[in-house]
Structure 1
Amino acid sequence: MSVNKNKIKLPLMLSFLIFSMLLNSMGVIILQLSDQVSYKGLGILESFKDIPMAVVSLLCVNWIAKTGNKNALIFALIFIMISSIALPLVDAFWFFKIWLSIVGVGFALAKISVFSIIKNNFKDKQLASAVSSVDASFMIGIFFVNIGFGSLLTSDYAQYWKYGFWVIAILSMINVLMLRNSEIEEEQFPDTKKESGGWKFFLKPKLIYFFIIVFFMVFVEQSFNSWLPSFFKNNLHVNSYFALQSSAFLALFSFLGRFATSKLVLRFYWLKMVFVCLFMVFFILGISQVLISCFYNESRFLLIFIIPVIGLFLSPLFPLYNSEVLNQVSKGKTHLFVSLIVVCSSLGSSVGSLYMAIIFHKNASSYYPLFISLPLLIIFGLTFFLNKTTITYDWNQQE
């Protein structure tokens, strides 16, 4: 049985790796276009990915339930494969907006499908481990995209940097073939809206706390993933290659954090792990802000190494919160539940990017760690409420 589950995990992990590379290429795009487009314009660019992602995630719930999770995931991969092949061939800024919209739609379909497959095939701590493993591959995707594009941008072929997306298109085709040959069992459910008893279920206090946490969690992650290279370039005065490597090593530490979480969550209570991680993130951010404000000249080189270590402790938070609540949601509600996660994630990503765009536009990026700490304080407070509440079901309504 474990062999079959490992065979299920592999194409799901590759799917998240591919979409991670696409979604987190924003750091590369911002660096490459910052001389042509203002930071305000680049901050709005993120919305072309996040708004379609949010809208489609709500509209496609029943379609995914009828089509099947595996088929929906294959469709999403083919969708982004074609658009990534086209990207280098259209030399215009407006096509980045269309391309990001396609990536957003594809990820909405993929995330709902992947989490639903996990929910149908794993339980309890094994589910938490599977979520952490899949999310770990998301982090390693960030590492690969920054290392790959960083190397390309410092080579003799830097002007052809957009052709790097063809590599992602090839990986997408490989993943489609893996999924077509995989034997993923899927449960068929009745109409999602009828099964879930309407939207009232998602107004339960625990779920409201959770969705707010998801919003701010992605808000914070986006502030790092998309804007850390610009912080390194503008404030620590490193070149574009090393600026991109900041995100690459942030992602590498994030991968290690989520990989370790997939093992540790089998032994330790999730809440203890959350508080340890939050404490360490606050500690590193505080040290970084002190060094920037008081000892900048002496510590600039040290900061290049300190800040990416945050990924080791920040990355476990999202899968820990996700698995804690996903374990308490019935299979019939999974599609709609994950679609709402995508909506909150999309809003958090867009608002986070605008938040950072304003900070950089106002030349306040020297307080970058301090500004990131503010939404983390909200997450810390809401975690107490999340832990004290449970999800109760009206079984008569479900019948």
Structure 2
Amino acid sequence: MPRLLVIAAIAASYFAFAILLNSVGTVILQSINTFDISKPEAATLEGYKDLTIAFVSFLVASFVPRLGYKVAMLAALLLVTAACLITPVVSEFVAIKALFACIGAGFALIKVSVYAMVGLLSSDTRSHSSLLNTIEGIFMVGVLSGYWIFSAFVDPLNPGSPVWMNVYYWLAALLAINVLLVCVAPVPSADEKVREQSAIAAFTGMLKLAYQPLVIIFVVSIFLYVLIEQGIGSWLPTFNNEVLHLPVDISVQITSLFALSIAVGRLAAGQVLRFINWFPFLLGCAVLMGGLIIITLPMAEGHQATGITQLSDAPLAAFILPMIGLLMAPLYPILNSVMLSALDSHKQAAMTGLIVVFSALGGTTGSVITGYLFEHMGGQHAFYMQLVPVVGIIAAIFLFRQVSQKDQTASAV
């Protein structure tokens, strides 16, 4: 029972942060409508979220075990609860920026704590994988739920109305429940060795790791992947609204297909990889990603909305484009798995830190670049430009395989 209570606490916290983190695409669209700001300015929300995640993860990861996982989680939840209560009261874009900075800082503390506690709650590799996949699955349920929760507060007759910000009162209530759950849960403490590791040792270990050729290729591929994922995910609601001319509420709802396709793609990939090697599978996914973009975007040209009032009225392109998530989904976890399994266990913590940092940087870069292109070249051209990082990923997959094989051969000798 105590173990189940701890799992419930960390899963519920992950669920709440999934809603908040992945609301950025919806909030970008609503901020443009409500606060009359430019698309590049709206795209900075991704930076407030992701750069804060990178900075806080890099800065405090080594201190969290000594601080205590329960204290770290409570600090994260209370910080974001307060930000959610303040944001609709201020009702200005600066409050939205501050909110996403708080969300980023809170998620960094939550993720470090959750990943550490999964290890403490697991007796072997199989139970560790099972528990982590369950928690990540709950995270995806939170992502899917977020699109529908936010769309329920959008006024389709007056998209610019700030009434949508009332959603944060409900989210604050959800976070408050999580605070109570974490308070009563018997959250475990870190091992003595982990608590005694100095921040300087963790920092220097990460820097030494980053100089290896295999790691450099890996972090570049991770950077490019997240650049595409956030570039599409953050701007898909705006694409649906401005290019396909769908109502705001339907634009947000249909974007949930992107998150759903990623969830389904990752579950399916886990089964497929039991029978085929990771290299041809990832290469095929990356090539098909480019093909889907090339095929789908021309279908959106010249589309005019005529009486679209429900999801079933949306054009075919609105349903096909989010399916790119099926092809993207396996790239991130498989690359992480191949990289981490190639390292000694004592180096995996430093590698996790690099993954978090470069994922955050890729997310910010993707959103800002897509927002700039959206503003100056239009939505279709902005999405066509996603082909550039797709080609980069294909090249990185080839190099990653070549260098990893060389490293394995050298280790065998």
2:242 — aligned with what?
234
1:42-57 equivalences under 5 Å are: 42-57=42-57
Mapped to 2, the partners of 1:323 and 1:155 lie a distance apart of: 43
Contact 1:131 1:323 in 2 (8 A): no
- Mark the CA change 1:335 to 1:60 in structure 2 (over 3 Å): closer, same or farther: farther
Which residue, out of 14, 17, 24, partners 1:26? 24
- From 12, 16, 21, the equivalent of 1:14 is 12
In structure 2, relative to structure 1, the CA distance for the partners of 1:268 and 1:15 (3 Å cut) is farther
State yes or no: 1:345 paired with 2:343.
no
Equivalent position amino acid for 1:191 in 2: S
Alpha-carbon distance in structure 1 between the residues aligned to 2:59 and 2:212: 22
Map of 1:366 onto structure 2: 380
Residues 91, 251 of structure 1: CA spacing in aligned structure 2 closer, same or farther, 3 A cutoff? same
Which residue pairs with 1:166 in the alignment?
A: 169
Relative to structure 2, which stretch is displaced further, 68-77 or 339-348? 68-77
- d(CA) in 2 for partners of 1:76, 1:268: 41
Tell me the equivalent position of 1:396: none
1:67 aligned partner:
67
What SS does the corresponding residue of 1:153 show, helix, strand or coil? coil
With a CA cutoff of 8 Å and minimum separation of 6, indicate the structure with the bigger relative contact order: 1
Where does residue 335 of structure 2 map in the other structure? Answer: 321
Asked if the contact 1:11–1:175 (Cα under 8 Å) also holds between the matched residues in 2, the reply is yes
Please state whether the residue corresponding to 2:75 is helix, strand or coil. helix
- The one-letter code sitting in structure 2 at the alignment partner of 1:165 is Y
Shift of 1:244: 0.5
Q: Label 1:328 to 1:117 Cα distance change in 2 as closer, same or farther (>3 A).
A: farther
- Tell me the SS of whatever aligns to 2:224: helix
2:217 alignment counterpart: 209
Can you give the 5+ residue segments of structure 2 that lack an aligned partner in the other structure? 306-312, 409-413
Q: Distance in 2 between matches of 1:12 and 1:265?
A: 29
The residue aligned with 1:397 is none
**Contact 2:68 / 2:189 at 8 angstroms: preserved in 1?**
no
Asked whether the equivalents of residues 129 and 265 of structure 1 are also in contact (C-alpha less than 8 Å), the reply is: no
Query: 1:275 — aligned with what?
Result: 283
1:36-72 Cα shifts (integer Å, max 9, x gaps): 1111211223322233222222110221132244542
* Aligned counterparts of 1:267 and 1:122: Cα–Cα separation in 2: 27
Partner of 1:107: 107
**What is the SS of the residue equivalent to 1:236?**
coil
Code of the aligned partner of 1:350: T
In the TM superposition, residue 352 of structure 1 has moved relative to its aligned partner by: 0.9
1:200 matches 2:208: yes
Partner secondary structure for residue 46 of structure 1: helix
- Determine the C-alpha separation between the residues in 2 that align with 1:269 and 1:382: 17
> Secondary structure of 2:153's partner?
helix
Distance between the aligned counterparts of 1:15 and 1:323, measured in 2?
A: 24
2:394 pairs with one of 380, 383, 388 = 380
Q: 1:170 to 1:339 in 2, by over 3 A?
A: farther
How many residue pairs were aligned?
Answer: 389
Unpaired runs of 5+ in structure 1? Answer: 393-399
331-340 or 117-126: which moved more? 117-126
Of 120-129 and 194-203, deviating more is 120-129
Give CA-to-partner distance per residue, 1:77-136, whole Å, 9 cap, x none: 222122112221222222122111111111222222233334554766765555544443
Q: CA deviation at 1:283?
A: 3.0
TM-score for the superposition, normalised by structure 2: 0.82
Structure 1 residues 103, 373: closer, same or farther in 2, change over 3 A?
Answer: same
Which amino acid in 1 is paired with 2:137? A
Does the C-alpha gap of structure 1 residues 325 and 134 become closer, same or farther in structure 2, counting only changes over 3 Å? farther
Tell me the TM-score normalized by structure 1: 0.84
Whether the 8 Å contact between 2:244 and 2:304 is mirrored in structure 1 is no
| 1:282-307 Cα shifts (integer Å, max 9, x gaps) | 332222134346x8679981101111
CA separation in 1, counterparts of 2:275 and 2:12?
A: 26
Q: Report Cα offsets for 1:304-347 as digits up to 9, x if no partner.
A: 11112222222232222223333444554454433322221221
Percent identical among aligned pairs is 26
Shift of 1:26: 1.7
1:207-232 deviation digits (Å, cap 9, x = unpaired): 22221122111111111221001111
* CA distance in structure 2 between the partners assigned to 1:6 and 1:30 by the alignment: 37
Taking the TM superposition and a 5 Å limit, the aligned residue runs for 1:65-144 are 65-119=65-119, 121=122, 130-144=131-145
- On the 8 A contact 1:211/1:344 being kept in 2, the answer is yes
